[in-house]
């Protein structure tokens, strides 16, 4: 292939057109064509802009739909990369590192596309390959929640917060009628230093042994068997197989007495019935703050949080219980003996935070504002 020309690439949608002409056309326009590609296929096929992509009652495509509408209102067009020829896109955004196995990514690199960008959403414990500095070289800009990367090269890296979809404020059950505590997360085993999956297991086992009537466990895969130790890296694939492959779908075990099912009502409706929820991130990683805290805030449930060591830089400490300060025995004594007045103090602080400017970057609107300020 001659450098500076776009090779005919039937599988990608590229046609043999001089690169200089294509890119001059790009700069001549004021209206841009934005292309997106999510590492998880359920968002592609334009579904991130047109549908609700849900697990556990979460609408994970909500921020993307809002972004799509905002860009269209500004006169731009949006599509996922499988909906148009690749030459149509002026700006391209990969949501989580696509790897060189992605044929569209390879085609864009071969074409010398000048505006390929990366949005890192998954933490390093799930997608460590996306955090190696050498893989960032092909990208013009990288959006990440990692403050240290942004400090290293502010011209390349843009810090953003993982957006959390708001929930309608519903009146929870009265304090006296709410159950004490729950955990609503997936079961996982992963042999990595910063993981908190094992902490979820320790929590469930402690409550089962010491306060079984005051704790409920919900989520997926708690009735499955996963691989330990050095084989645990295979568990992502094994969990997918449990959901899709017969007869694995039918194999279930009663391993956790506190497990009451996968939470079919949805997380928000379930949290309305509990005073406290164990809200543990997937890993202990600075700046990684997912929806787990905010789900509790929206439901009027007090989170018991473990995750980002620097969470207090983003979320006021009076809004949550910091699990790192308690053993499980101490934690149980504290939450079981908490007065309604003290409990309401946590809820009032959380409600004030949700209405504050400090929380705005975690909202879909805050995410869209940051994106358009840098890219539109």
Q: Is the pLDDT of residue 16 over 80?
A: no
Q: What is the CATH number of domain 19-159?
A: 3.40.50
Give pLDDT, residue 118. 98
Nearest alpha-carbon partner for 302 in 315, 314, 283, 288: 315
Averaged pLDDT for residues 90-112 = 97
pTM greater than 0.75 (yes/no): yes
Give pLDDT, residue 271. 95
pLDDT band of 266, cuts 50, 70, 90: confident
Sequence-distant (6+) residues with CB within 8 A of 26 are 32, 90, 114, 115
CATH class of 175-359: alpha beta
Give pLDDT, residue 57. 67
Residue 247: asked if its preceding bond is cis (omega within 30°), the reply is yes
Averaged pLDDT for residues 203-229 = 96
Percent of the chain with pLDDT over 70: 91
pLDDT band of 169, cuts 50, 70, 90: confident
Q: Is the pLDDT of residue 371 over 70?
A: yes
Averaged pLDDT for residues 67-91 = 97
Q: Count Cβ neighbours within 10 Å for each residue of 120-141 and write b for 16 or more, e otherwise.
A: bbbbbbbeeebbeeebbeebeb
Give pLDDT, residue 296. 96
Averaged pLDDT for residues 253-262 = 94
Could you give the CA distance from residue 86 to residue 88 in angstroms, rounded to a whole number? 5
Q: Count Cβ neighbours within 10 Å for each residue of 19-31 and write b for 16 or more, e otherwise.
A: beebbeebeeeee
Q: Is the pLDDT of residue 13 over 90?
A: no
Q: 19-159 and 175-359: same fold? A: yes
Sign of CA dihedral 327, 182, 252, 209: positive
pLDDT by residue (tens digit) across 273-316? 999 999 999 999 999 999 999 999 999 999 999 999 999 999 99
What are the tokens at 235?
A: 């568990």
pLDDT by residue (tens digit) across 110-143? 999 999 999 999 999 999 999 998 999 999 999 9
Q: Is the pLDDT of residue 56 over 70?
A: no
pLDDT band of 27, cuts 50, 70, 90: very low
Distance set, CA 376 to CA 34, 75, 84, 91, 204 (Å) = 10, 10, 20, 10, 46
278 pairs with which residues across the strands? 304
Could you give the CA distance from residue 47 to residue 81 in angstroms, rounded to a whole number? 12
Q: Is the pLDDT of residue 69 over 80?
A: yes
The mean pLDDT of the chain is: 91
Q: Is the pLDDT of residue 157 over 70?
A: yes
Give pLDDT, residue 1. 33
Averaged pLDDT for residues 247-270 = 90
Tell me if 286 sits within 8 A of 148, measured CB to CB. yes
Domain residue spans in the chain? Answer: 19-159, 175-359
pLDDT by residue (tens digit) across 321-368? 999 999 999 999 999 999 999 999 999 999 999 999 999 999 999 999
Sign of CA dihedral 55, 171, 164, 217: negative
Could you give the CA distance from residue 227 to residue 212 in angstroms, rounded to a whole number? 26
């Amino acid at each position: 292939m001659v450098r500076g020309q776009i090779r005919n690439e039937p599988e990608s949608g590229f046609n043999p057109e001089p690169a200089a002409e294509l890119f001059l056309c790009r700069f001549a326009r004021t209206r841009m064509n934005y292309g997106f590609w999510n590492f998880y296929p359920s968002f592609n096929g334009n579904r991130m802009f047109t549908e609700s992509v849900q697990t556990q009652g979460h609408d994970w495509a909500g921020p993307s739909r809002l972004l799509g509408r905002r860009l269209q209102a500004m006169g731009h067009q949006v599509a996922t990369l499988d909906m148009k020829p690749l030459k149509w896109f002026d700006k391209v955004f990969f949501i989580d590192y696509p790897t060189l196995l992605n044929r569209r990514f390879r085609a864009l690199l071969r074409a010398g596309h000048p505006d390929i960008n990366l949005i890192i959403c998954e933490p390093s414990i799930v997608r460590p390959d996306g955090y190696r500095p050498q893989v960032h070289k092909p990208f013009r800009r990288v959006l990440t929640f990692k403050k240290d990367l942004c400090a290293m090269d502010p011209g390349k890296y843009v810090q953003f917060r993982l957006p959390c979809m708001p929930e309608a404020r519903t009146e929870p059950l009265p304090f006296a009628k709410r159950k004490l505590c729950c955990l609503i997360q997936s079961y996982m085993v992963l042999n990595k230093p910063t993981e908190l999956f094992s902490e979820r297991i320790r929590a469930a086992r402690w409550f089962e042994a010491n306060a079984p009537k005051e704790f409920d466990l919900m989520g997926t895969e708690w009735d499955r068997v996963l691989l330990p130790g050095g084989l645990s890296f295979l568990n992502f694939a094994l969990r997918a197989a449990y959901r899709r492959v017969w007869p694995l779908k039918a194999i279930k075990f009663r391993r956790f007495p506190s497990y009451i099912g996968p939470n079919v009502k949805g997380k928000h409706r379930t949290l309305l019935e509990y005073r406290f929820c164990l809200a543990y991130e997937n890993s202990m990683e600075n700046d990684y703050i997912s929806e787990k805290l905010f789900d509790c805030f929206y439901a009027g449930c007090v989170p018991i949080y473990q995750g980002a060591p620097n969470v207090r830089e983003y979320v006021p400490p009076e809004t949550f219980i910091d699990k790192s300060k308690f053993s499980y025995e101490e934690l149980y004594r504290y939450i079981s003996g908490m007065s309604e007045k003290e409990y309401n103090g946590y809820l009032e602080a959380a409600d004030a935070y949700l209405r504050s400017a400090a929380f705005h970057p975690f909202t879909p609107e805050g995410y869209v504002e940051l994106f358009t300020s840098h890219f539109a």
